Amino acid sequence: MVNFESYTPTRVVFGKGTESQVGELIRAQGGTKVLVHFGGRSAKASGLLDRVLTALDQAGLPHVELGGVVPNPRLSKVREGIELARREGVDFLLAVGGGSVIDSSKAIGYGTGYQGDVWDFYSGKAKPAACLPVGCVLTISAAGSEMSNSSVITNEESWEKRGCNSDLCRPRFAVMNPELTYSLPAYQTASGCVDILSHTIERYFSGPETVEPTDSMAEGLLRTVLDAAPRAVRKPDDYEARAAIMWAGSLSHNGLTGCGRGGEGRVGDWSCHQLEHELSGMFDVTHGAGLAAVWGAWSRYVMDAAPARFARFARNVMGVADQGDDTKTALAGIAAFEDFLRSIHMPTNIHELGVDLTDEQIDELTWKCTFYGKRDIGSFKVLKAEDIKAVYRLAR
């Protein structure tokens, strides 16, 4: 086990009806004026936004609203939020939505008290020194932003998508009512589940080493989502399934499943995220579906770096019986995971995403993956440009 830090200060308020507590929660954090940030029509149509605003009114908290956050949240909206927050003297940001809304709120939090351009924090030009407090009412189980230290923003002037990580932006509280996810379409539910699984899987395959209790807990989280995902897809109002997915989603990305990993200094492999990142940049695919499309190819390509690790995954997560040797067991586990993906109508290759990659497109994706020739990716097996091309070819 390598040295690590774990810091998860977010107060989680989980369960039915908990959105009615937002007023008290903000008051407990010292908030006196709130910017309520949200996405599109669903928060309004469902009545959730009204319930939240009523709770703020009941707590005597003045508020302003800013909707219109889109998936892959935009810098222009962040700037609009910063201006609004300054003009209105807001001292608390309440995100009502999923990862995009929370990430946009975090960016507004960074920018409001900063003299320069908020993009500085995402381009790497500056490090945030402060962030307005952020709280959230979660409506989508997927990104894990409700407990994480990260925020990803897209600059639509340059079409760059960049992240900024800092403990300053970890939400002060996260209100999680699984019922709020009942209305998600099956495809979004399934994609969210793949995103959750992948947050733990990326960390699980940091390298070949065993780390307890982190491994056992990670395997438990994975089995939980593997079991609950088909149930939530089949029956959108299955409370136990929705609750299991929602809580697993937060625990999969708050750092818990990375504790003690990363012998080479990096926690998590993150190759699949990188491969998908470029894919969704070029073809606007849903993040979780994109991850599903590349995982099998990546796994088969890197598995020989440590078959025993994949064999453990096969046995402890996928419930595959030992096949006599690690490689065979590992391959059976990968196939079992693909069977799971099919069972929730997720793609297992890029063609099934609706994209038929040309060789030229693979070259371009690879060029971007390597940050224009400047880096390799991955840690379980380090992938150079030629490897990345090979994985895209296997996946198409």
Q: Compute CA distances 257 → 7, 164, 203, 207, whole Å.
A: 12, 20, 7, 13
CA distance 330 to 327: 5
Would you say 21 or 72 has its CB closer to its own copies? 21
CA max distance for the chain: 67
Q: Which of 395, 300, 368, 394 is CA-nearest to residue 385?
A: 368
- Rounded to whole angstroms, how far apart are CA atoms 204 and 268? 7
Report CA-CA distances (Å) from 97 to 67, 102, 145, 180, 345: 10, 7, 11, 10, 24
Select 64 or 217, whichever has its Cβ closest to its own copies.
217
151/224 with CB nearer its own copies: 224
For residue 66, the minimal CB distance to its own copies (Å) is: 28
Identify which of residues 14 and 283 has a Cβ nearer to its own copies in the complex.
Answer: 14
At a CB cut-off of 8 Å and minimum separation 6, what does 380 contact?
A: 205, 206, 207, 208, 269, 271, 302, 305, 306, 309
Minimal distance, residue 221 CB to its own copies, in Å: 5
Query: Using CA atoms, how far apart are residues 241 and 202, in angstroms rounded to an integer?
Result: 23
Q: Which residues bind its own copies (CB under 8 A)?
A: 1-9, 11-18, 212-217, 219-221, 223-225, 227-228, 239-240, 243-244, 247-248, 251, 259-260
Q: Which is nearer to its own copies, 232 or 293 (CB)?
A: 232
Least CB distance to its own copies at residue 176 (A): 10
Q: Toward its own copies, which CB reaches closer, 260 or 333?
A: 260
The nearest distance, CB 350 to its own copies, in angstroms, is: 31
Supply the minimum distance, in Å, between the C-beta of residue 382 and its own copies. 25
Query: Could you tell me the smallest distance in angstroms from the CB atom of residue 133 to its own copies?
Result: 14
